Chain A
Amino acid sequence: MERRDLHRLAVPLAVVGGIVALAAAAPLLPLADPVHIEVSARLTPPSEGHWLGQDEYGRDVLSRAIWGARASLAVSFLAAAIAGIAGTALGLLGGYFRGVVEILTVRSAEAVLCFPPLLLALLVVTLLGPGAGTLIVALSILYAPSYARVAYAETLAARNLDYVVAQEALGARSGRILLRTVLPNVAPPLLVQFSLTVASAMVLESGLSFLGLGVVPPEPSWGLMIRGARSTMDQAPWLLLWPCLALTGTIVALNMLCDALRDVLDPRGRTVSANPFRAFVSGLLPATEPAPAPPALLRVDGLHLAIGHGPGALPAVRDVSLAVAPGETLAVVGESGSGKTLTGLAILGLLPPVVRVTGGRILYTGRDGTTVDLARLGEPALRRLRGDELSMVFQDPSASLNPVHRVGDQVAETIRAHRDLSAAEARRRAVALLDRVGLPDAARRARAYPHELSGGQRQRAVIAAAIANGPRLLIADEPTTALDVTIQAQILELMAGLKAQAGGMGLIFVTHNLAVVSEIADRVVVMYVGEVVEEGPVAEVFGSPRHPYTAALVASVPEGDDDRLSAIPGVVPPLHDLPAGCRFAPRCGLAEPACTAGAPALESLGGGRSTRCRRWREVA
């Protein structure tokens, strides 16, 4: 557990601990007798002998508040503990034996959930009569099913773990393995469940006592104190204050403890989800600078991107330059973490909020002939370009489509975002587009929901939305990675065909698949840990690489019946620990001392080729 976690837990834990300690120490404290009646001192305001005053029977309020905590806490903790043990046992048994046992344990426990909780508690009170014991029974019955569910789910999950299955196949008794596997797994969720149960048991206990169906007078309990104070509310309103404060405060502290526990024990819930929308609404960068030498379509000049802020910021993309001409296909190749996707997102201004442009320009010449720097363009202007002149197709088509809207509507949405059309006309065009991207029976498919299409069909729909307005530049970020091999070929064919039809459309194809590159691209940019290491026409770069990394990548592609595959030795260095000098030197067979001394610059070799290697002449 990290220090930050302990920090989060400290405050609520201290408050809850303090309350529990105070309640536990009640018999040792010099308190007045909580049930001693002194009718003459009825409703006396706070005095020296009675710090919080006296109630409607002249009993000491402070003493009753502390003794009342004992009753409330004892009932809730005991009930939570009994429910926890019984429920967990039921869940383990049901999950382990399945079949009839499962019906007898988990399913029958779940029948309890058919009843609203307070109602069930009242039913138990009817049968057993009011009292603390009844409360414990009622609350245990109420909360056991939740524990049973958690334990049951975890047991089932553990049963399917490979090594448990393997042990069972070997004939070993898996009961012990299961216990050893399951208990550690269920402990964190059960701990959260426990604190939740205590808090909610406390609310129910005080509620029932308030109704006069819980703790039996004259025993003190916070619910009873509120009940009593309510009857004398017009004469002594302050009496209402103390038990209300004590009860609410304790529950707030318990709930805070739950939240903190959940955050600490379940790290998945803690990560603030990457929220591109905030950057989207607030991303106004400084005004446009005059652009030198406008590109025909797009030129990225010395782009720097950083993840995070301040000294800890990671330089994810450094000095990346690339250009796409109208009608050209540029492939951007690299392993995961090479910065190729971030570069693509930066062009559309869709970087996640933690990533910032720290340098460089993204010059784009639009349909109207003016050149803008996309890295400094305001969000409204960017939005007018996105989906119209600039488009993007993402990796996973099933995640890219909104599950609750029809496919045709999602294509039509792109059109209507930029063209003033009637809904019917946009829908008609969407069908035509779906037909154009090769979706069979497009009119019918347009009315389908994404889950009703296959992966390949979904990607076709995503592409249809991307080309809906005839973009000048299409960025495709690994559009085939999530698809089957046979579908991949079809999608590539489609994209090549669309480009041929569209004439002037430029295409940036981001991928890690070299075979795809040679099929579709005119030129290629090879990236390694955030830098461009080599660039040039595809045939030349792959035919005679001028950077050892490109050479290694090419060598790692299996070719024909030559099934020898050379993997690149070593690992990609992490961004926070980049090697000085050439980033590839630690994995490079050609590295010499000079390579690690200074970072090599991108060197132009003529003929549109460049490399970031000092020893490019020696690369085979």
Chain B
Amino acid sequence: MLGYAVRRSVVALGLVWVVATLVFLVIHLIPGDPAELLLSQGGFAPDPAAVAELRTQLGLDRPLPVQYGSYIGGLLHGDLGHSLLDEHPVAEEIALRLPRTLELIAAAALLAVVFGLPLGTLAALRAGGPADRALSVLAGVSMSVPVFVVGTLVVLVFAQKLRWVSAGGFTPFSRDPLEHLALLAMPAATIALGLAAVVFRMTRSSILEVLGRDYVRTAMAKGVAPLRIVVHHVIRNALIPVVTVLALHLGTLLGGTVLVEYVFNWPGLSGYLVNAVEARDYPEVMGIVLVISVLFVLLNLAVDLLYALLDPRVRHA
């Protein structure tokens, strides 16, 4: 198990380097000069002198390998560069906002598992029955509604009409824990709706498949009690694909909270990213993309390790 963990970690580390390099190359190798692009907003040809000055300021006039070296060197020191607009260090702003986004995702994942897993198991054990049919239709619809539609409607109903909660915003946990959680509930539930549907569908089909396996019949032939068969033999085997799919979706959420954070005014990483994209603030965009992608890689690593924990066969692969 330890050897497997080390091997996977080395691969993940390599991937982090690949991601960092890709982010660098995307900005530097595609046609068009970032400095020129940055200054040419509004359709006017930018002043060549201003472009040259910005190039020097950004270090774009240096040879590419030198730029790459200083970029990677900066990364190793936790330096993600400074905002073009206000010189604010990118790493500092990310450190402030990232925990909020992670909290949102964690809360949504928790809700999705708490609802999706038991309901999926129930639907599989009652496959073809009315409860299964109703839940499957519900899941199909929940999965299809875009998050920003759910979010907007949630704000309309619960904040505007019923006035149960305020329309969005953020209060630090240290200042008012209750209000913090109340403000977390709406965006987390919005993300959780679609995610729970994914967990539900995956759990259902996975459990149905495992129920048909020979070892379930063997367990029955041993006279093992039904509840123990479900808990001990079925769920653990059925969980393996569910964990994978859930983790993949959590990975997409790392960037996908953009819409929800926007709708609910949640001051996470995504709002920062949208502003940076609108302003074409390259250092900011590169820093955020890099951090999220690295998290994405680390999440996949965590899944691989969890997978090995659940399925002893993987450890030897």
Are A and B subunits of one complex? yes
Q: Please give the residue numbers on chain A whose beta carbons come within 8 Å of chain B beta carbons, in ascending order.
A: 111, 114-120, 122-123, 125-127, 199, 203, 206-207, 210-213, 223, 226, 230, 233-234, 237, 240, 244, 247-248, 251-252, 254-256, 259, 272-278, 280-281, 348, 350, 383-388, 391-392, 394, 396, 399-405, 413-414, 417-418, 449, 451, 462, 465-466
Q: A126 near B215 (CB under 8 angstroms)?
A: no
Residues of A within 8 A of B3 (CB): none
How far is the CB of A197 from the nearest CB of chain B, in Å? Answer: 15
Residues of A within 8 A of B237 (CB): 402-404
Q: Which of A118, A384, A462 lies at the interface centre, i.e. has the most chain B CB atoms within 10 A of its CB?
A: A118
How far is the CB of B218 from the nearest CB of chain A, in Å? Answer: 4
Question: Within the complex, which residue of A111, A237, A256, A466 is in contact with B156, where a contact is CB–CB below 8 Å?
Answer: A237
Q: B223 near A114 (CB under 8 angstroms)?
A: no
**Is B135 an interface residue, CB under 8 A from the partner?**
no
Q: B293 near A116 (CB under 8 angstroms)?
A: yes
Q: A116 near B141 (CB under 8 angstroms)?
A: no
- A sample of 27 inter-chain contacts (CB < 8 A) reads A115-B296, A116-B254, A116-B292, A207-B148, A210-B148, A226-B149, A230-B263, A234-B160, A248-B146, A252-B145, A255-B143, A255-B144, A273-B208, A275-B127, A277-B211, A383-B224, A387-B222, A394-B217, A399-B213, A399-B215, A400-B214, A400-B217, A403-B311, A404-B237, A417-B228, A449-B313, A451-B316
The verdict on A211 contacting B259 (CB below 8 Å), with A119-B293, A402-B233 known, is yes
7 smallest CB-CB distances across A and B, nearest first, come from A387-B223, A119-B255, A116-B255, A387-B222, A273-B212, A399-B214, A386-B223
Q: A111 near B22 (CB under 8 angstroms)?
A: yes
- Chain A interface: which of B47-55, B69-77, B274-282? B274-282
The verdict on A275 contacting B208 (CB below 8 Å), with A114-B293, A122-B258 known, is yes
Q: Which of B180-234 contact A (CB under 8 A)?
A: 208-209, 211-226, 228-230, 232-234
The verdict on A118 contacting B252 (CB below 8 Å), with A233-B155, A240-B153, A417-B222 known, is yes
The verdict on A386 contacting B155 (CB below 8 Å), with A111-B22, A210-B259 known, is no
How many of chain B's residues touch chain A, expressed as a range?
A: 35 or more
Question: Within the complex, which residue of B26, B161, B262 is in contact with A123, where a contact is CB–CB below 8 Å?
Answer: B26
Q: A403 near B223 (CB under 8 angstroms)?
A: no
The verdict on A226 contacting B292 (CB below 8 Å), with A275-B127, A418-B223 known, is no
Question: Within the complex, which residue of A127, A237, A348, A384 is in contact with B221, where a contact is CB–CB below 8 Å?
Answer: A348
The verdict on A387 contacting B211 (CB below 8 Å), with A207-B259, A248-B144 known, is no
Q: B146 near A203 (CB under 8 angstroms)?
A: yes
Docked CA distance A596–B147 (Å): 69
Residues of A within 8 A of B259 (CB): 118, 207, 210-211
**Is B310 an interface residue, CB under 8 A from the partner?**
yes
Residues of B within 8 A of A418 (CB): 223
Q: A392 near B140 (CB under 8 angstroms)?
A: no
Q: A126 near B128 (CB under 8 angstroms)?
A: no
The verdict on A211 contacting B262 (CB below 8 Å), with A275-B127, A348-B221, A384-B223 known, is yes
Docked CA distance A418–B223 (Å): 8
Q: B277 near A125 (CB under 8 angstroms)?
A: yes
Q: A278 near B127 (CB under 8 angstroms)?
A: yes
The verdict on A403 contacting B255 (CB below 8 Å), with A115-B293, A273-B211, A277-B216 known, is no
Chain A, Cβ-Cβ closest to B284 = A126
Q: B144 near A126 (CB under 8 angstroms)?
A: no
Q: A276 near B160 (CB under 8 angstroms)?
A: no
Chain A, Cβ-Cβ closest to B201 = A259
B5-34 vs A: 1/0 string, CB under 8 Å?
A: 000000000010011001000110010100
**Is B289 an interface residue, CB under 8 A from the partner?**
yes
**Is B125 an interface residue, CB under 8 A from the partner?**
yes
Q: A449 near B233 (CB under 8 angstroms)?
A: no
Q: Which of B259-317 contact A (CB under 8 A)?
A: 259, 262-263, 273-274, 276-278, 280, 282, 285, 289, 292-293, 296-297, 310-313, 316
Chain B, Cβ-Cβ closest to A237 = B156
How far is the CB of B214 from the nearest CB of chain A, in Å? Answer: 4
Residues of B within 8 A of A255 (CB): 140, 143-144
Docked CA distance A417–B229 (Å): 11
Q: A206 near B146 (CB under 8 angstroms)?
A: yes
Q: B222 near A403 (CB under 8 angstroms)?
A: no
Q: A251 near B212 (CB under 8 angstroms)?
A: no
Residues of B within 8 A of A277 (CB): 125, 211, 216, 220, 226, 229-230, 234
B69-96 vs A: 1/0 string, CB under 8 Å?
A: 0000000000000000000000000000
Given pairs A118-B252, A230-B263, 9 additional interface contacts (CB within 8 A): A114-B293, A116-B251, A123-B285, A226-B149, A244-B149, A272-B208, A273-B211, A402-B218, A413-B222
Q: A226 near B148 (CB under 8 angstroms)?
A: yes
Chain B, Cβ-Cβ closest to A252 = B144
Q: How many A-B residue pairs have CB under 8 A?
A: 230
Docked CA distance A277–B145 (Å): 34
Q: A391 near B221 (CB under 8 angstroms)?
A: yes
Residues of B within 8 A of A111 (CB): 18, 22
Q: B296 near A114 (CB under 8 angstroms)?
A: yes
Docked CA distance A203–B149 (Å): 10
Residues of B within 8 A of A401 (CB): 215, 218
Chain A, Cβ-Cβ closest to B315 = A449
**Is B256 an interface residue, CB under 8 A from the partner?**
yes
Q: B224 near A394 (CB under 8 angstroms)?
A: no
Residues of A within 8 A of B224 (CB): 383, 387, 413-414, 417
Question: Within the complex, which residue of A116, A127, A203, A388 is in contact with B30, where a contact is CB–CB below 8 Å?
Answer: A127
Question: Within the complex, which residue of A117, A254, A350 is in contact with B255, where a contact is CB–CB below 8 Å?
Answer: A117
**Is B57 an interface residue, CB under 8 A from the partner?**
no
Docked CA distance A120–B23 (Å): 10
Q: Which of A281, A413, A451 lies at the interface centre, i.e. has the most chain B CB atoms within 10 A of its CB?
A: A413
Residues of B within 8 A of A207 (CB): 146-148, 258-259
**Is B152 an interface residue, CB under 8 A from the partner?**
yes
Docked CA distance A237–B152 (Å): 10
Question: Within the complex, which residue of A114, A118, A122, A210 is in contact with B15, where a contact is CB–CB below 8 Å?
Answer: A114
**Is B62 an interface residue, CB under 8 A from the partner?**
no
Question: Within the complex, which residue of B19, B156, B233, B310 is in contact with A240, where a contact is CB–CB below 8 Å?
Answer: B156
Q: A272 near B127 (CB under 8 angstroms)?
A: yes
How far is the CB of A539 from the nearest CB of chain B, in Å? Answer: 31
Residues of A within 8 A of B293 (CB): 114-116, 119
How far is the CB of A256 from the nearest CB of chain B, in Å? Answer: 7
Docked CA distance A381–B182 (Å): 51
Docked CA distance A188–B121 (Å): 30
Docked CA distance A118–B152 (Å): 19
The verdict on A127 contacting B292 (CB below 8 Å), with A226-B152, A248-B149, A465-B222 known, is no
Q: A251 near B144 (CB under 8 angstroms)?
A: yes
Q: B216 near A116 (CB under 8 angstroms)?
A: no
Docked CA distance A448–B296 (Å): 34
How far is the CB of B187 from the nearest CB of chain A, in Å? Answer: 15
Question: Within the complex, which residue of A114, A233, A462, A466 is in contact with B18, where a contact is CB–CB below 8 Å?
Answer: A114
Residues of A within 8 A of B133 (CB): none
Residues of B within 8 A of A212 (CB): 278
Docked CA distance A280–B141 (Å): 32
Docked CA distance A114–B301 (Å): 12
How far is the CB of B279 from the nearest CB of chain A, in Å? Answer: 9
Question: Within the complex, which residue of B160, B220, B256 is in contact with A118, where a contact is CB–CB below 8 Å?
Answer: B256
Question: Within the complex, which residue of A237, A396, A462 is in contact with B160, where a contact is CB–CB below 8 Å?
Answer: A237
Chain B, Cβ-Cβ closest to A124 = B26
Q: A272 near B297 (CB under 8 angstroms)?
A: no
The verdict on A247 contacting B215 (CB below 8 Å), with A273-B208, A383-B225, A404-B310 known, is no
Residues of B within 8 A of A115 (CB): 19, 255, 289, 292-293, 296
How far is the CB of B150 from the nearest CB of chain A, in Å? Answer: 9
How far is the CB of B117 from the nearest CB of chain A, in Å? Answer: 17
Chain B, Cβ-Cβ closest to A465 = B222
Q: Which of A116, A403, A404, A451 lies at the interface centre, i.e. has the most chain B CB atoms within 10 A of its CB?
A: A116
Q: A451 near B313 (CB under 8 angstroms)?
A: yes
Chain B, Cβ-Cβ closest to A385 = B223
Docked CA distance A244–B141 (Å): 13
Question: Within the complex, which residue of B128, B141, B153, B311 is in contact with A272, where a contact is CB–CB below 8 Å?
Answer: B128
